[in-house]
Amino acid sequence: MALKLYVSLPLKITIDKQGPKVILKRGWRAKIIFEFTLRQMKRFHQIFGLLVLLVFLLTGQYMDHYQHHLREMPDGMRMLYRTRHIYILLTGLVHLGIGTYFFYERQLWRRILQFIGSTLLVISSVLLLAAFFYEPKLENLYTPVSHWAIYAVATGTLLHLFCGAGQRREVRTQTDV
């Protein structure tokens, strides 16, 4: 049994026992673009988490060099820069944590929720980076982007937590990965 999602593009997303696959269809031909095995999914979260941590360091350098340590800046704008900066760190650490302990669940519906959770976490990281540059310039501490990103982080993390709740774990060896 596999879940198939069709989008308006000639793409098909399939989730089965081996993990998610993104398939590009052209006429009668179909080509697998992405196939996330267990090792690839773990590696994806680890590498993406490290990239987000690099972005965290770069946004810190941006605040230091281009915003002059946030000195002589209104309190609201300074608060928005700092909180978005810390939120970027949060998503990077969440990705590293999931990448460390990730494994596919046996039931299909749990694997689907894992994929949705991982997708939400990636989206939230991108939204928080956009919010870092966009929201501090808005008036009245308006945060149209980051609050959705924080909802996505919370939902993605809770989906991963929910998928693993109540499951018996087998002892896994290095060859199982």
Angle of the 108-134 helix axis to the 146-164 helix axis, nearest 10: 160
112 plus 160 within the same structural domain: yes
64 plus 85 within the same structural domain: yes
Q: Which domain holds residue 24?
A: 3-35
Do 21 and 34 contact (CB within 8 A), yes or no? Answer: yes
15 plus 59 within the same structural domain: no
**Residue 125 pLDDT grade (very low, low, confident, very high; cuts 50, 70, 90):** very high
57 plus 24 within the same structural domain: no
Number of domains in the chain: 2
- Global pTM reads 0.80
96 plus 169 within the same structural domain: yes
23 plus 91 within the same structural domain: no
27 plus 48 within the same structural domain: no
Q: Which one-letter amino acid corresponds to residue 134?
A: Y
Read off the pLDDT of each residue in 127-134 and give the average, rounded to a whole number: 95
**Per residue in 56-83, pLDDT tens?**
999 999 888 888 777 888 888 888 889 9
Burial class (CB in 10 A: 0-12, 13-18, 19+), 31: exposed
4: helix, strand or coil: strand
